């Protein structure tokens, strides 16, 4: 608890330190002037039509970019863009199939960190683009940089939307039991015990252990890293089943096993768990920060008025390491309109575009707090609109990491997600045994892919 | 009272109990069948905040339909303190895709199936019955085996500069594999039921094979062809695996149901509204061919 | 009656050509793929290479590795087991409930007729939608099925159990009212089978109604005169007479169940853990979602083809023997 106060103090200091930078984006800038974005004023790509492969275009974090200002981009460049809207559940599949298809119609694709590894060969390297556009690569935190470059120095995608893990909680409930937001994963158990003992009719926390696009791994990664271990060691040997790994996994599962998270959470996905919080049936939830507005916009006044956010907890006596989840946007090498696509990317990921989108809260359906650039996250005006949420996010991102960026990882992830789901659904399952078996599965994939040849 | 009347009373009592039990069983069956459909219909007209509950007290709304058929953001609960915005997810293109794909599928499949069915029924030629049984067995080929090679093929074949993968044309071609065999068997059943005397008489009068087929037989089996068309339409309308793998971003309504998943997980009230759109037309079609569905599904094996 | 030999071939030809192209071509292509290392991530290298110098076959590119992998892949073995149990449960439930419905609605008044009309309704609900609606209704917080099961089934049983528990020396554990239907390995598979049963039992009932209608009424009359009661008539007369139809329907439903895919995607997503990953679902995951391994996916689907071919042969022999 003291930790979180300290963080908030630090944040305030950081905010004021960032003030001079903020003035770079004065509001009187002309957003209709191509020069503002470094776009070619001669409209060399006039009449070009681009197809953008992206998921969930109705989610505010994405819809906001399509609706706010894309008409301006078209007016400035003559390039029109259509978004191929895909449901999240089938997006990964569609991404692979389109990117690897020599006849694809798509020019621009969005991808989530590890998903990109399977299509790196088909993406246009963006290092020259970043330099030419005059973008500051260090304006992105280490987790996002890593997720956009894989294990190399080649930039495959520009960070577009990114998410640190945030604790969403009910200030009133925690106050009623005399506690502040948990600083460690272990604190959650203590708070859970206090809430249960108080007899309040609310679940202490809503976790999500269900099998749904591997969302049940998000919190697990953070605990694994916090406890001092990882998925792989430097020789690509699985180590998540070592002592620290088992301890982290048991801590992660303890919330449902001890009854602090509802029994049904073994089947929930992230959205369903969040819904528990929004509907006032749970007091805490740890998930991506874009969901914050779900809580502040809750139909239940008690929930909306007591919505509070803090960085995701850390490991007691260990580290506080979050998973930074990144949606990057890349350009397909085989696109016939690659240069026009790069022009679009320049506008789409430009700091001014990014800042304008988060600043504009006029349409509730398009209101989003999601930004990825450190300069935008530190912007006081942006923080004012979103009650300092971006400040909390930057604090989390400072220590955030990304997952193993190898193509085989997408084959390995289902093994891990299944292991977590099995441990959650089967109370008799032995954590060590299940993790050991999963490590064998993982090693099998890595062996077949030739990681252990030497 | 004599022993006889007691016996009669007992048996009438037993009959009444049987009647009551039977009625209860019927009501149970009706509930079993109707409940999921009814619940979907109710959820589709529930306001968003009531959809996540079992309550039956709500003021009906068409907002959910408005959201699934609009391109821009929709204000819901307008003018109340619960006013909120929701981005629309226009499913209209998917409705068009479904109609075009299913429609074109039957337009191609039914004429071909009718000719083939007529030949199978009226002519004895080498391999007639073997071919028929072989056609029957093609329905047992798992759809995934058909989907994999067509997927890789359609990726590399382009039509008018567009890969066939993700087009209505591609999906129509693959749909043939499930629709044609059923249609042939179904229409053959109708031709079989047609007495041969009329054709015989026409033949004696000097009509050739094709004149008999087009001017005598076809008009007589028209109702059967219509039934088979409806059946084939329903099959391709409800098809999911091909639509997912071959149709891709050319989403039919079945696959568009997946897009109701969003920030709240699956948005059940929108899923229900989309579900009704998918289901209602098929309801009427199914009622229309009620008596023939069994023959269609079993290819006449159960009679 | 008519002489021209070529006429039937002209009529059958176009349809036959399309069926061959849409079934035989993929069957051969998938078999060919299954002997290759073929992942979508890289352009495939096929054994048969056609160039200006003619056709060259590179035998080294062909192997049975994909088939060997299948039988050492615990997830594939699991999908075989899941499909087996799903088939057993869904076929048994569909046929038994279908038979029950048929016997109840077969003859009678207006309510019977209404029910008979309603039987066609589940056919109009697509499998994908079926999966979503069942998932919605089984939700432990706001699902109508969950509510009804708790109120009408679990509640009374627990009340009975509590009564028994009042007796000395008896202690029976009550049934939990908070079962997460799709979060439990057994219940998820069972409910998946139930959703399938909801769609099929009414159709199967229609099949039986047709078959029952064609049985000579005098047979039942004779049995009744002999003093047989309803149950006796059902087991001694109706069932034996329906036997051929029941066999055919069971075989047909088995084949459809083995191909289960749509509801797995929309209802359970294969979970919890791997409890509802049917063969088709797993093949789709491997081929199109996870490893993009078309070679391996083809090999697994060929194993399914073999199983289905056996079933199809059984089915055809049943149908032919009946005639």
Question: Is C300 within a domain?
Answer: yes
Q: For residue B74, what is the nearest residue in chain A, using CA coordinates? A: A365
| Residue at a domain's end among B45, B71, B87 | B87
- Bridge partners, B86 (sequence order): B74
Q: Indicate the residue among B87, B120, B155 that finishes a domain.
A: B87
CB < 8 Å from C in window 109-148 of B? 112-113, 115-116, 118-120, 122-123, 125, 128, 131, 133, 135-138, 140-148
Domain boundary among B69, B87, B105: B87
Q: Look at chain B and count its residues.
A: 303
Run of H or E including B86: strand B84-87
ipTM of the complex in this document: 0.89
End-to-end CA distance of chain B: 51
- B303 domain-assigned: no
What pLDDT is recorded for position A220?
A: 95
The per-residue pLDDT for C133 is: 93
Q: Do residues C48 and C57 make contact, with C-beta atoms less than 8 angstroms apart?
A: yes
| Contacts of C among chains (3+ CB pairs under 8 A) | A, B
- Whether residues B45 and B99 fall in one domain: no
C133: nearest Cα among C144, C141, C124, C123: C144
pLDDT surpasses 80 at B300: no
Q: Which residues contact C200 (CB under 8 A, 6 or more apart)?
A: C90, C94, C98, C122, C253, C256
Q: Is residue A308 a part of any domain in this protein?
A: yes
Residue B2 has a pLDDT of 53
Chain C residue closest in CA terms to B141: C305
Do residue A309 and residue A334 come from a single domain?
A: no
Indicate whether A219 and A257 sit together in one domain: yes
Contacts of residue C66 in chain A, CB cutoff 8 Å? none
**Residue range C278-292: mean pLDDT, rounded:** 89
Percent of residues in chain B assigned helix, strand, coil, to nearest 5: 70, 5, 25
CB neighbourhood size of C158 (10 A): 18
B32 shares its domain with B134: no
Look up tokens 């749970």; give the residue.
Answer: A282
What CATH number has the domain bearing residue A266?
Answer: 3.40.190.10
State residue B5's pLDDT score: 59
Query: Are residues B204 and B233 part of one domain?
Result: yes
CATH of the domain at C286: 1.10.3720.10
Within a domain: residue A17?
no
- Claim to verify: residue B178 and residue B268 sit in the same structural domain: yes
Q: Which domain holds residue A95?
A: 22-163+325-398
Same domain, B81 and B201: no
Q: Between A103 and C11, whose confidence is greater?
A: C11
Are the Cβ atoms of C134 and B36 closer than 8 angstroms?
yes
Closest CA to C214 of C236, C238, C233: C238
Specify whether A145 is located in the same domain as A183.
Answer: no
| B98 and B28 in a common domain | no
B11 plus B120 within the same structural domain? no
Residue B257 belongs to a domain with what CATH number?
1.10.3720.10
Residues A307 and A256 in one domain: yes
Beta carbons of B240 and C261 less than 8 Å apart? yes
Site from B48, B67, B68, B73 to mutate, A interface, most A CB atoms within 10 angstroms? B73
**Rounded mean pLDDT of B201-208?**
83
The number of folded domains in chain C is: 1
- What are the C-alpha distances in Å from A316 to residues A179, A321, C11? 17, 12, 78
Residues 6+ positions from B77 with CB-CB distance below 8 Å: B47, B48, B63, B83, B84
Same domain, yes or no, for B129 and B264? yes
Is residue B87 within 8 angstroms of chain A, CB to CB? yes
Do residues A34 and A123 share a domain?
A: yes
**A180 and A269 together in one domain:** yes
**A3 part of a folded domain:** no
Distance CA C138, CA A117 (A): 37
A319 touches chain C (CB under 8 A): no
Into how many domains does chain A fold?
Answer: 2
Are A225 and A355 in the same domain? Answer: no
In a domain, C10, yes or no: no
Partner-chain residue, chosen from B133, B141, B203, that has the shortest CB–CB distance to C316? B133
Residue B295, pLDDT score: 79
Find out whether A52 and A108 touch, Cβ atoms under 8 Å. Answer: yes
Pick from A349, A448, A285, C20: nearest CA to B146: C20
Same domain, B20 and B111: no
Q: A211 and chain C: CB distance < 8 Å anywhere? A: yes
Helix (H) or strand (E) holding C17: helix C6-19
pLDDT at site B50:
84
Spatial CA neighbour of A231 closest among A146, A323, A97: A323
Q: Has residue B302 got a pLDDT over 80?
A: no
Integer-rounded Cα Rg, in Å, for chain B is: 26
A321 three-class SS: coil
Residue among A224, A271, A273, A275 at smallest CA distance from A250: A224
- Say which residue the tokens 């035998």 belong to: C59
Q: Do B282 and C124 touch (CB under 8 A)?
A: yes
C271 inside 8 A of chain A by CB: yes
Percentage of chain B exceeding pLDDT 90: 40
Output A145-149 pairs: Cβ under 8 A, ≥24 positions apart: A146/A401, A146/A402, A146/A405, A147/A113, A147/A114, A147/A116, A147/A324, A147/A326, A147/A328, A147/A402, A147/A405, A148/A116, A148/A326, A148/A328
Nearby residues of B23 by Cβ (< 8 Å), 6 or more positions away: C111
A334 contacts chain C (CB < 8 A): no
Q: Any long-range contacts for C9-13 (C-beta under 8 Å, 24+ apart)?
A: C9/B119, C9/B125, C11/B115, C11/B116, C11/B118, C11/B119, C11/B123, C11/B213, C12/B115, C12/B116, C12/B119, C12/B120, C12/B131
- The answer on A80 and A44 residing in a single domain is yes
The answer to whether residue A4 sits within a structural domain is: no
Question: Are A84 and A150 in a shared domain?
Answer: yes
Q: Which chains lie within 8 Å of chain A at 3 or more CB pairs, if any?
A: B, C
Mean pLDDT of C312-323: 82
Q: For the segment B62-102, what is each residue's pLDDT rounded down to a tens digit?
A: 888 988 888 776 776 666 666 666 777 788 999 999 999 99
Mean pLDDT check: name the lowest of A46-60, A401-415, B28-42, B129-143.
A46-60
Structural domain of residue C255, as residue ranges?
A: 67-124+184-323
Average of per-residue pLDDT values in chain C: 88
Q: Is the pLDDT of residue B107 over 80?
A: yes
Question: Which member of C180, C274, C292 has the closest CB to residue A418?
Answer: C274
Would you say residue C192 lies in a domain?
Answer: yes
The upper half-sphere exposure of residue A431, i.e. CA atoms within 13 Å in the direction of its Cβ, equals 17
**Mean pLDDT in chain B?**
86
Q: Are A377 and A422 part of one and the same domain?
A: no
Residue B194 maps to a domain: yes
Host domain of residue B82: 3-87
Q: Return the pLDDT at A20.
A: 44
How many Cβ pairs closer than 8 A exist between chain A and C?
65
Instruction: Pick the residue from chain C with its C-alpha nearest to A210.
Output: C272
A347 lies in the same domain as A226:
no
- Portion 5-64 of C in contact with A at CB < 8 A: 40-41
Query: What pLDDT does residue A19 have?
Result: 46
C78 to chain A, any CB pair closer than 8 A? The answer is no
Higher-confidence residue of B296 and C250: namely C250
What pLDDT does A198 receive? 92
- For position A253, what pLDDT does the model report? 95
Neighbours of C80 (CB within 10 A): 19
Are residues B183 and B122 both part of a single domain? yes
DSSP states along C50-75: EETTEEEE-GGG--SHHHHHHHH-HH
Q: What is the pLDDT along chain A (454 residues), one digit of tens a residue?
A: 445 555 555 555 554 444 444 444 445 567 778 888 889 888 999 999 999 998 877 777 887 776 666 788 888 999 999 887 777 777 888 888 888 877 788 999 999 988 888 889 899 999 999 999 999 999 998 999 999 998 889 999 999 999 999 999 999 999 999 999 999 999 999 999 999 999 899 999 999 998 877 889 999 999 999 999 999 999 999 999 999 999 999 999 999 999 999 988 998 889 889 989 998 999 999 999 888 888 988 888 899 999 999 999 999 888 888 889 999 999 999 898 999 999 999 999 999 989 988 888 777 777 788 899 999 999 999 998 888 889 989 888 888 889 999 988 988 998 999 999 999 988 888 999 999 999 999 998 898 888 987 5
Counting the structural domains of chain B, the total is 2
Q: Chain C residues with CB inside 8 Å of A211's CB?
A: 269-273
Q: Please check whether residue B129 lies inside any domain of the structure.
A: yes
In angstroms, the CA A197 to CA A70 distance is: 53
Instruction: Please report whether residue C145 resides in a domain.
Output: no
Share of chain B above pLDDT 70, in %: 92
Q: Identify whether A415 is part of a domain.
A: yes
- Residue B26 domain-assigned (yes or no): yes
């Amino acid at each position: 608890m003291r930790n979180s106060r300290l963080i908030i103090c630090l944040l305030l200091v950081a905010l004021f330190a960032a003030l001079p930078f903020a003035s770079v984006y004065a509001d009187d800038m002309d957003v209709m002037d191509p020069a503002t974005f470094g776009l070619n004023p001669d409209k060399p790509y006039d009449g070009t039509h681009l197809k953008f492969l992206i998921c969930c275009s109705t989610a505010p974090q994405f819809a906001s970019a399509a609706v706010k200002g894309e008409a301006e981009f078209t007016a400035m460049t003559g390039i029109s863009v259509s978004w191929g809207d895909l449901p999240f559940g089938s997006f990964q599949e569609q991404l692979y199939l389109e990117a690897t298809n020599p006849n694809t119609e798509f020019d621009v694709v969005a991808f989530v960190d590890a998903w990109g590894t399977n299509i790196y060969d088909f993406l246009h390297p963006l290092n020259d683009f970043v330099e030419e556009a005059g973008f500051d690569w260090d304006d992105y935190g280490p987790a996002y940089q890593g997720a956009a470059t894989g294990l190399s120095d080649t930039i495959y995608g520009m960070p577009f939307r990114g998410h640190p893990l945030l604790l969403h909680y009910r200030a009133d409930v925690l106050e009623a039991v005399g506690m502040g937001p948990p600083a460690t994963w272990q604190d959650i158990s203590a708070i859970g015990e206090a809430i249960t003992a108080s007899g309040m009719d609310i679940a202490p926390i809503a976790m999500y252990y269900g099998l749904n696009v591997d969302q049940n791994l998000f919190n697990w990664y953070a605990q694994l890293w916090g406890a001092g271990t990882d998925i792989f060691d430097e020789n690509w040997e699985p180590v998540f089943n070592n002592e620290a790994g088992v301890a982290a996994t048991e801590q992660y599962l303890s919330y449902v096993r001890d009854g602090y998270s509802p029994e049904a959470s073994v089947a929930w996905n992230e959205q369903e768990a969040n819904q528990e919080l929004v509907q006032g049936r749970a007091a805490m939830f740890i998930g991506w920060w874009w969901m914050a507005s779900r809580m502040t916009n809750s139909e239940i006044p008690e929930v909306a008025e007591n919505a509070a956010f803090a960085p995701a907890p850390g490991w007691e006596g260990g580290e506080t390491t979050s998973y930074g989840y990144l949606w990057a946007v890349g350009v397909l090498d085989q696109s016939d309109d690659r240069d026009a696509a790069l022009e679009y990317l320049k506008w789409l990921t430009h700091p001014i575009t990014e800042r304008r989108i988060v600043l504009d809260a006029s349409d509730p359906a398009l209101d989003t707090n999601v930004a990825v650039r450190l300069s935008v996250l530190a912007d006081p005006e942006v923080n004012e609109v979103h009650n300092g949420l971006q400040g909390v996010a930057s604090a989390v991102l400072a220590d955030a990491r990304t997952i193993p960026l190898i193509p085989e990882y997408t084959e390995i992830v289902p093994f891990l997600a299944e292991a977590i789901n099995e441990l959650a659904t089967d109370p008799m399952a032995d954590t060590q045994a299940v993790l050991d078996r999963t490590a064998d599965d993982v090693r099998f994939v890595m062996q077949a892919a030739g990681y252990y040849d030497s | 009272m004599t022993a006889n009347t007691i016996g009669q009373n007992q048996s009438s009592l037993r009959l009444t109990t049987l009647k009551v039990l039977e009625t209860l069983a019927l009501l149970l069956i009706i509930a079993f069948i109707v409940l999921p459909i009814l619940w979907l219909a109710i959820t589709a007209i529930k306001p968003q905040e009531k959809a996540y509950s079992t309550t039956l007290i709500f003021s009906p709304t068409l907002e959910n339909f408005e959201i699934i058929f609009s391109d821009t953001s929709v204000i819901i609960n307008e003018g109340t303190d619960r006013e909120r915005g929701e981005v629309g997810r226009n499913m209209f293109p998917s409705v068009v895709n479904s109609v075009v794909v299913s429609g074109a599928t039957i337009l191609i499949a039914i004429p071909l199936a009718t000719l083939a069915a007529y030949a199978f029924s009226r002519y004895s030629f080498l391999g007639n019955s073997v071919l028929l049984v072989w056609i029957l067995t093609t329905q047992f080929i798992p759809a995934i085996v058909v989907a994999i090679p067509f997927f890789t093929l359609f990726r590399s074949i382009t039509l008018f500069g567009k890969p066939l993968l993700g087009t209505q044309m591609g999906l129509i071609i693959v749909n043939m594999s499930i629709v044609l065999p059923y249609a042939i068997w179904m229409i053959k059943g109708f031709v079989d039921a047609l007495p041969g005397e009329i054709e015989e008489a026409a033949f004696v009068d000097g009509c050739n094979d094709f004149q008999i087929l087009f001017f005598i037989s076809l008009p007589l089996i028209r109702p059967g062809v219509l039934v088979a068309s409806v059946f084939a339409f329903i099959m391709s309308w409800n098809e999911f695996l091909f639509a997912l793998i071959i149709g891709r971003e050319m989403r039919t309504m079945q696959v568009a149901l997946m897009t109701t998943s969003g920030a709240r997980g699956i948005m059940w009230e929108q899923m229900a509204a989309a579900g009704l759109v998918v289901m209602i037309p098929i309801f009427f079609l199914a009622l229309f061919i009620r008596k023939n569905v069994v023959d269609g599904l079993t290819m006449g094996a159960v009679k | 009656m008519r002489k021209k030999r070529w006429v039937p071939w002209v009529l059958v030809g176009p349809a036959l050509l399309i069926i061959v192209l849409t079934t035989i071509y993929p069957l051969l292509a998938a078999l060919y793929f299954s002997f290759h290392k073929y992942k979508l991530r890289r352009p495939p290298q096929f054994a048969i290479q056609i160039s200006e110098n003619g056709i060259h076959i590179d035998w080294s590119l062909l192997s049975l590795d994909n088939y060997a992998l299948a039988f050492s892949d615990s997830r594939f073995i699991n999908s075989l087991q899941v499909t087996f149990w799903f088939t057993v449960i869904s076929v048994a439930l569909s046929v038994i409930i279908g038979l029950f419905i048929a016997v109840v609605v077969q003859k009678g008044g207006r309510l019977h007729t209404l029910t008979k009309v309603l039987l066609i309704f589940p056919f109009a609900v697509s499998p994908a939608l079926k999966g979503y609606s069942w998932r919605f209704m089984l939700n432990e917080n706001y699902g109508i099925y969950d509510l009804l099961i708790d109120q009408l089934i679990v509640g009374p049983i627990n009340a009975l159990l509590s009564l028994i528990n009042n007796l000395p020396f008896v202690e029976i554990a009550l049934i939990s009212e908070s079962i997460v239907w799709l979060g439990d390995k057994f219940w998820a598979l069972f409910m998946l089978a139930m959703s399938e049963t909801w769609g099929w039992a009414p159709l199967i009932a229609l099949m039986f109604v047709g078959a029952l209608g064609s049985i000579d009424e005098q047979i039942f009359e004779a049995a009744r005169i002999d003093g047989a009661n309803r149950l006796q008539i059902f087991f001694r007369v109706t069932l034996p007479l329906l036997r051929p139809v029941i066999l055919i329907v069971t075989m047909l439903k088995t084949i459809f169940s083995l191909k289960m895919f749509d509801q797995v995607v929309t209802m359970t997503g294969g979970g919890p853990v791997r409890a509802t990953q049917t063969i088709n679902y797993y093949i789709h995951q491997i081929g199109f979602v996870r490893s993009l391994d078309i070679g391996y996916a083809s090999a697994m689907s060929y194993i399914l083809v073999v199983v289905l071919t056996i079933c199809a042969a059984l089915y055809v022999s049943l149908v032919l023997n009946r005639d």
